[in-house]
Amino acid sequence: MATITPEEVEHVANLARLEFNEEEIADFTHQLGRILDYIGKLNELDTTDVPPTSHVLPIHNVSKEDAVKPSYDRELVFATAPETQEGHFDVPKVIE
Amino acid sequence: MPLYQLTAHELHEKLKAREITSADLTQSVFDRIDAVEGQIEGYITLTKETAFQQAEAADVGFQRGDEMPPLAGIPIAIKDVICTKGVLTTCGSKILGNFVPPYDATVTTKLHQQGSVVIGKTNMDEFAMGSSTENSAYRITRNPWDLDTIPGGSSGGSAAVVAADEAICSLGSDTGGSIRQPAALCGVVGMKPTYGRVSRFGLVAFASSLDQIGPFTKDVTDCALMLNAICGHDPMDSTSVNLPTPDYTGFLTKDIEGLKIGVPKEYFIEGMDTEVEGIVHTAVEALRECGASIEEISLPHTEYAIATYYIIAPAEASANLARYDGVRYGYRAEKVDELIEMYKKTRSRGFGEEVKRRIMLGTYALSSGYYDAYYLKGQKARTLIKSDFDRAFETVDVIVTPTSPTPAFKVGERTADPLQMYLSDVLTTPSSLAGLPGISVPCGLTSGGLPIGLQMLAAPFKEGKVLNAAYTFEQHTNHHLQKPAL
């Protein structure tokens, strides 16, 4: 089986901005391995000339008129934020 | 009969005739909630105060003799993944444990335009990922027919509260079966409209190419009324389709003479509960008695749907859920003074196990070196699954199948094995991948007294055909009149 290694799990976790302890890495390696193994069933299908479907509707880019409209109330939007400062979302320092 | 047991269309007649008020009705529903919610635990939030204000507003209209919409004054519950301005919207997740949206979803606005009474927000699998509602960060919802069993998922709360008469109707969302499967397991009517029929604006995104909002109701007539209320083009959702929306009650004719119904042989799978199979075959015979012609059809790629779905849905989810970073809303891990660390700690503490599993799976499927093998392969398999349906609908009007291969299973029975839980959706994911409209209607009880659902599917935007067949079946059999003994 082993379609995914603990190192790959750690790599993917970093890409997804998640962190796990050793036990969790082991669990995910096992579980994702089993799921990917099951998904491997798709290799039975010959899809050489099959176009991919990203969307079921025949829709394309939808444009709208560039009209100025009122936005949501600023106070209401900031009310949902963990931390704000002087009309900005506050985050830990990113530049030394 | 107590008011909370009635349907929306029955209650509308009483409200219009001023036999009852919406305030009486709302009180009746809240009394019922007081009596049974301790056993069901279908709600995350109740909005009693605003509910009575909305009821009184509707009553003013009825008293004045205004022409009132069909859902005016009707108590309705909303799945906690749909934004409600000023009302906590958690998505069943700790990461949105304090999120009060600054706006209403379009469907919420549409219910307000009807003058409906919003009574609360229902429990669900976290971010709609699950088939049993056991992935909620808040509570375990019980199936009203057997409190040791799950209500299905992810819209388990919305299904259970309608089955337990704690709401007259409710809204849920369906990505791979999350309306139809819980409707089947709880013995109520649940409909997933065609992808694009109902605006997704304000529906917290899980898998954007699959997600669709739809109703849970006690009968097919109420389902048509709910669909009338919520469907239609919305400039706020570029995937909502600009097509005319018929009055869906016009399809409730009890006439399916000559309707061509296909029964796909691949849906009677190995490991299917024999009682489910028997009850569904009896239901198909009932449709034949009503005048439909029945033929066996083949949807050869059915067995690849779960594998396809568990590439595409997690891939889209991994992108959609990137936004939960502790910056603009929701939970933020405390006392972390480095940005990337803050993201990681916030997400690792805020998301539950299944959500993390799907983010991992989706990120992997999209990551460099694996994209072609997984994501692209999944998209191509999706084309094959969709083509099966396109071909079938050249010869039949409606496809009839079981909704779920088993009745409700025990709480805890499938939580240890994610793959086994995923296979609960084996009969609903194919049509989700094809974007089709589908309904689940009650079609009988097992010997153990658990409800079984009949799934009906039609070609895109043919909700009318689904409702026509479902209504005729319902009126012919009356399975929908059975209630759990609570």
Mean pLDDT rounded to a whole number for chain B: 97
Report residue B304's pLDDT band, with 50, 70 and 90 as the boundaries.
very high
Q: Is B79 a catalytic residue?
A: yes
- Which of A19, A45, A77 lies closest to B304 in CB terms? A45
One domain for residues B160 and B237? yes
Report residue A2's pLDDT band, with 50, 70 and 90 as the boundaries.
very low
Q: Is B154 a catalytic residue?
A: yes
**Contact check, Cβ <8 Å, B351/A81:** no
Average pLDDT over residues B226-237: 97
In a domain, A52, yes or no: no
Residue B310 near residue B317, CB atoms below 8 Å: no
User: Containing domain of residue B46, as a range?
Assistant: 3-255
Tokens 């153990």 found at = B448
One domain for residues B12 and B159? yes
One domain for residues B327 and B218? no
- The one catalytic residue in B131, B158, B170, B178 is B178
Residue B297 near residue B399, CB atoms below 8 Å: yes
Q: How far apart are CA B206 and CA B386, in angstroms?
A: 21
Residue A78 has pLDDT above 60, yes or no: yes
Instruction: Spell out which residues of chain B touch residue A18, defining contact as CB-CB under 8 Å.
Output: 344, 347-348, 351, 356, 359-360
Overall domain count for chain B:
2
Judged by a CB distance cut-off of 8 A, whether residue A15 touches chain B is yes
Q: What single-letter amino acid sits at B3?
A: L
Residue A93 has pLDDT above 90, yes or no: no
- ipTM value greater than 0.85: yes
Instruction: Write down the pLDDT at residue A3.
Output: 78
In a domain, A31, yes or no: yes
In a domain, A54, yes or no: no
- The one catalytic residue in B79, B121, B218, B462 is B79
Average pLDDT over residues A3-22: 96
In a domain, A62, yes or no: no
Q: What is the CATH number of the domain that holds A10?
A: 1.10.20.60
Tokens 């030394």 found at = A96
In a domain, B96, yes or no: yes
In a domain, A81, yes or no: no
One domain for residues B163 and B55? yes
Quote the minimal CA–CA distance from A90 to chain B in Å: 7
- Which of A9, A16, A38 lies closest to B359 in CB terms? A16
Which pLDDT tens digit goes with each residue over B399-416? 999 999 999 999 999 998
Report residue A84's pLDDT band, with 50, 70 and 90 as the boundaries.
very high
Report residue B270's pLDDT band, with 50, 70 and 90 as the boundaries.
confident
The proportion of chain B whose per-residue pLDDT surpasses 90, expressed as a percent, equals 96
User: Containing domain of residue A40, as a range?
Assistant: 6-44
**Contact check, Cβ <8 Å, A52/B382:** yes
One domain for residues B215 and B77? yes
The proportion of chain B whose per-residue pLDDT surpasses 70, expressed as a percent, equals 100
Q: What is the CATH number of the domain that holds B245?
A: 3.90.1300.10
- Which of A13, A45, A52 lies closest to B360 in CB terms? A13
**Contact check, Cβ <8 Å, A47/B209:** no
DSSP state of A80: T
Which pLDDT tens digit goes with each residue over B335-368? 898 999 999 999 999 999 999 999 999 999 999 8
Q: Is B293 a catalytic residue?
A: no
Model pTM?
Answer: 0.97
**Per-residue tokens: B78:** 């909303």
Q: How far apart are CA B455 and CA B284, in angstroms?
A: 11
Tokens 């499967």 found at = B181
Q: How far apart are CA B283 and CA B452, in angstroms?
A: 11
Which pLDDT tens digit goes with each residue over B457-474? 999 999 999 999 999 999
Residue B81 near residue B107, CB atoms below 8 Å: no
Q: What single-letter amino acid sits at B449?
A: G
Which pLDDT tens digit goes with each residue over B97-118? 999 999 999 999 999 999 999 9
Q: Where are the alpha helices (DSSP H) in B188-338?
A: 220-230, 274-289, 305-320
Mean pLDDT rounded to a whole number for chain A: 91
Last residue of a domain, one of B341, B371, B401: B371
**Contact check, Cβ <8 Å, A17/B318:** no
Paired sense of beta strands B189-192 and B438-445, if any: antiparallel
Overall domain count for chain A:
1
One domain for residues B222 and B327? no
Which pLDDT tens digit goes with each residue over B169-186? 999 999 999 999 999 999
In a domain, B141, yes or no: yes
Q: Which of B117, B125, B130 is nearest to B157 (CA)?
A: B125
Average pLDDT over residues B45-72: 98
Q: How far apart are CA B90 and CA B126, in angstroms?
A: 9
Report residue A30's pLDDT band, with 50, 70 and 90 as the boundaries.
very high
One domain for residues B128 and B235? yes
Instruction: Spell out which residues of chain B touch residue A12, defining contact as CB-CB under 8 Å.
Output: 360, 363-364, 367
In a domain, A84, yes or no: no
Q: How far apart are CA B99 and CA B211, in angstroms?
A: 21
In a domain, B325, yes or no: yes
The DSSP bridge partners found for residue B192 are: B438
Window from A31-35, B54-58, B420-424 with minimum mean pLDDT = B420-424
Which pLDDT tens digit goes with each residue over B417-447? 888 899 889 999 999 999 999 999 999 999 9
Instruction: Write down the pLDDT at residue A1.
Output: 40
User: Among all residues of chain A, which has the CA nearest to that of B385?
Assistant: A53
In a domain, A94, yes or no: no
In a domain, A87, yes or no: no
Instruction: Spell out which residues of chain B touch residue A54, defining contact as CB-CB under 8 Å.
Output: 209, 379
Instruction: Spell out which residues of chain A touch residue B337, defining contact as CB-CB under 8 Å.
Output: 92-93
Which residues have CB under 8 Å from B60's CB, separation 6+? none
Q: How far apart are CA B127 and CA B130, in angstroms?
A: 9
Judged by a CB distance cut-off of 8 A, whether residue B99 touches chain A is yes
